Structure 1
Amino acid sequence: MAPRIGVVGMGNLLLRDEGFGVHVVRHLEARGGLGADVRLVDGGTAGLYLAALLEGLDPVLVVDAVALDAPPGSIHVFSKADLRRGLALVRSSCHQAGFLDALEIMDLRGEAPDRIEFFGVVPADLSPGVELSPVLAPRVAEVAARVAARVEELRGGDGA
């Protein structure tokens, strides 16, 4: 079965909590993935290069750290419309700007997913380092479980 659902983890693993999304994807991979119909993508800081990795996938669930005026470790979910309005991307970040650029390229080619959901977690520590902060480390399993549950809902046709 060809993958049709995408789960993308974004972030820079060298800046502690900035790499949160990649940690979530790695957590899912270590537990055997989410099935043959789901492509897990370590988007890292790929930016524009994500377009080729995401073509043919719909819906796409994105996990990333997001700078919001909210408590560190809090989880926020945004829609594709929210992303386009810039509500989830309040931080100037190379990979987040690149993700929106990748979506624009996919739109131009008629390959953009109709459904995108963004799972953002507010970071506690963006200093150099490869380990997540004690605030975000326990959130990996929680967000992975929420993404897995959402994938199950989407499989059941409850994609609204």
Structure 2
Amino acid sequence: MTQRVLILGIGNVLWADEGFGVRAVEELARRWKFPDHVKLLDGGTQGLYLLPFLEEADVLLVFDAVDYGLEPGTIKVVEDDEVPRFMGAKKMSLHQTGFQDVIATAQLMDQCPEKLCLIGVQPVELEDYGGGLRPLVAERIAPAIEIALTYLARHGVQPEPGQSAADLLADPAILRDAYEAGRPSEDEACRTGDARFFPAGA
């Protein structure tokens, strides 16, 4: 029986390195075409709304920015029972609380994927509203993807060069290149955040 695989990027792209997980799955989809039993999803900060996707999966691979207490830019991989523990060890934001709840709920309902893998990177900067990934963290996307491909191969997933369907990824307007290219210069940027996300007249 073919295992159903969910590759999930979580985090908030509006807060600098918080967006690592989303950007990693975005790049994976841009470079590789996966078979039909593999689903790529930008989970953002959706919390329990992700539960139906977990219920459908046998294998779950998650990309995220995680505060491991390590040097910035460090990649750390944890699997299976360790994943909930690391997601809840030192929360950087509400999305991690939400995702820990998703896993706990799926386990309670006996519908959690049998195999779990978290590929996390230690962030450099989080307190920059409207900012993109810092170069050190952006450089970790490629090695994180290589780790993911190796893990997926262990579970019989062999993608081909190409592109995956983007229907469960971010709107094109907020994909990394468009988003970061649209950021104002240092002279023009609002010091209390990114003016692109303020309501008109604020």
For 2:90 and 2:64, locate their aligned partners in 1 and report how far apart those are by CA, in whole Å: 12
Q: Which residue of 1 aligns with 2:9?
A: 9
Q: TM-score, normalised by structure 2?
A: 0.70
Q: TM-score, normalised by structure 1?
A: 0.87
Which deviates more from structure 2 when the two are superposed, residues 106-115 or residues 54-63? 106-115
Q: Which residue of 2 aligns with 1:147?
A: 148
128 and 33 in structure 1: CA distance in 2 versus 1, 3 angstrom threshold: farther
- SS of 2:35's equivalent in the other structure is coil
- SS of 1:102's equivalent in the other structure is helix
Which deviates more from structure 2 when the two are superposed, residues 78-87 or residues 13-22? 78-87
For 1:47 and 1:63, locate their aligned partners in 2 and report how far apart those are by CA, in whole Å: 15
Q: Which residue of 1 aligns with 2:76?
A: 76
Amino acid at match of 2:43: G
Which deviates more from structure 2 when the two are superposed, residues 74-83 or residues 41-50? 74-83
* Root mean square deviation, CA, Å: 2.1
Shift of 1:104: 2.2
Amino acid at match of 1:153: R
Q: Which runs of 5+ in 2 are unaligned?
A: 158-202
Deviations 1:17-61 (A, max 9, x none): 101000011001112443322111111101111101222211101
Amino acid at match of 1:82: E
Amino acid at match of 1:78: V
Which deviates more from structure 2 when the two are superposed, residues 90-99 or residues 58-67? 90-99
Amino acid at match of 1:112: C
- SS of 1:76's equivalent in the other structure is strand
Amino acid at match of 1:47: G
114 and 145 in structure 1: CA distance in 2 versus 1, 3 angstrom threshold: same
- SS of 1:155's equivalent in the other structure is coil
- SS of 2:152's equivalent in the other structure is helix
Q: Which residue of 2 aligns with 1:25?
A: 25
Q: Which runs of 5+ in 1 are unaligned?
A: none
101 and 130 in structure 1: CA distance in 2 versus 1, 3 angstrom threshold: same
Deviations 1:95-140 (A, max 9, x none): 1111121122222332111211111100011122342101111111
Identity %: 35
Shift of 1:3: 7.1
Amino acid at match of 2:78: F
Q: Which residue of 2 aligns with 1:35?
A: 35
For 1:52 and 1:123, locate their aligned partners in 2 and report how far apart those are by CA, in whole Å: 29
Which deviates more from structure 2 when the two are superposed, residues 26-35 or residues 70-79? 26-35
Amino acid at match of 1:103: I
For 1:91 and 1:108, locate their aligned partners in 2 and report how far apart those are by CA, in whole Å: 22
Based on CA coordinates, which of the two structures has the bigger radius of gyration? Answer: 2
For 1:10 and 1:129, locate their aligned partners in 2 and report how far apart those are by CA, in whole Å: 17
